Amino acid sequence: MSNGILSAAAILAAADLKFEDVAVPEWGGAVRIAVMSGLARDDFMTRSDDGYSNFQARLLMATAVDENGVRLFSADQLIALQGKNKDVLDRLTEAAMRVNGMGQAAQESIAKNSEAVANGASGSGSPGTSASQ
């Protein structure tokens, strides 16, 4: 590794978005879960939270990518993604949180906010904002 000063071209060309392929036998293959780009993270953090399955679907929209790193799901597919098998969504969400450095504290906060929404209370904070690095 060089200790020199990087150029903009070198930074933009760097392949820095690590990923993990997660087996999903229920769907007949694997799903690639990647570190969120800055753009994907901004998009993820600006969407509203309407419960845990919404959080999971939004997180997967931001992290599930194809072999070229292009996001698999768009905003208009959110509800359809929420309708998928909860066990698969849980498995993929766990991988997405792991790959993106989102720890147990973030998961507990999400669950707490989800319970508040379910009980009619207003949740505070936004899921994912307490991610640890």
User: Which CATH number goes with the domain that contains 94?
Assistant: 3.30.2220.20
The answer, yes or no, to whether residue 92 has pLDDT greater than 50, is yes
| Inside any domain, residue 3 | no
| Inside any domain, residue 124 | no
pLDDT at res. 57: 92
| Inside any domain, residue 82 | yes
Residues in contact with 47: Cβ distance below 8 Å, sequence separation at least 6, in sequence order: 58, 75
Task: Compare 82 and 109 and report the one with higher pLDDT.
Answer: 82
pLDDT at res. 59: 94
Read off the tokens for 115.
Answer: 């319970």
| Inside any domain, residue 123 | no
pTM of the full predicted structure? Answer: 0.67
Please give the tally of structural domains in the chain: 1
Q: How would you label 46-72 residue by residue, b for 16+ Cβ within 10 Å and e otherwise?
A: ebebebbbbbbbbbbbbbbbeeeeebe
The answer, yes or no, to whether residue 44 has pLDDT greater than 90, is no
| Inside any domain, residue 77 | yes
Candidate from 3-12, 27-36, 52-61, 124-133 with smallest mean pLDDT:
124-133
| Inside any domain, residue 112 | yes
Q: Are 124 and 113 in contact (CB under 8 A)?
A: yes
pLDDT in tens, 96-115: 999 999 876 555 665 666 56
| Inside any domain, residue 30 | yes
* Domain extent at residue 45: 16-118
